[in-house]
């Protein structure tokens, strides 16, 4: 098993940038696919991005493609989500997730472990 803790969220103006962190512990992080999801008030949790365990292969939701970048540093047991050109509609609680098996993985049910989330608020 693996434990995940997100950080790096905050308040930013539209057009600004934030970098989210996902710190992993308790397991062999390098063996897990990583995903980022987000959930806004009154909405279902939605897929943002995923990175294959072996590195290099990424997949993004259309809503964030070309603006967000997912990455990882296995030596630090940390995954990242670089968010640029932020829009008010990006406002949500962002969750880091980890899972095994096939890739890409864009559904919450495909992930085994979740962090508690970090709030991102983008003002207009």
Confidence (pLDDT) at 56: 83
Confidence (pLDDT) at 27: 82
d(CA 110, CA 99): 7
Confidence (pLDDT) at 36: 98
Confidence (pLDDT) at 101: 87
Reported as a single tens digit per residue, the pLDDT across 66-97 is 999 999 999 999 999 999 999 999 999 999 99
Task: Give the pLDDT band of residue 28 (cuts 50, 70, 90).
Answer: confident
Residue 55 has pLDDT above 90, yes or no: no
Averaged over 39-45, what is the pLDDT?
96
Q: What tokens were used for 58? A: 């990424």
* Secondary structure in 3-state letters for the chain: CCEEEEECCEEEECCCCEEEEEEEECCCHHHCEEEEEEECCCCCCEEEEEECCCCCCEEECCCCCCCEEEEEEHHHCEEEEEECCCCHHHCEEEEEEEECCCCCCCCHHHCCEECCCEEEEEEC
């Amino acid at each position: 098993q693996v434990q995940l803790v997100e950080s790096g969220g905050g308040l930013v103006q539209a057009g600004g940038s934030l970098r989210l962190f996902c710190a992993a512990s308790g397991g062999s992080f390098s063996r897990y696919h990583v995903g980022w999801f987000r959930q806004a008030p009154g909405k279902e949790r939605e897929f943002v991005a995923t990175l294959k365990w072996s590195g290099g292969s990424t997949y993004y939701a259309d809503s964030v493609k070309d603006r967000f970048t997912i990455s990882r540093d296995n030596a630090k047991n940390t995954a990242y989500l670089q968010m640029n050109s932020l829009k008010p509609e990006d406002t949500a609680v962002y969750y880091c997730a980890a899972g095994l098996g096939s890739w890409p993985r864009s559904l919450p049910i495909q992930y085994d472990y979740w962090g508690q989330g970090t709030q991102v608020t983008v003002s207009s």
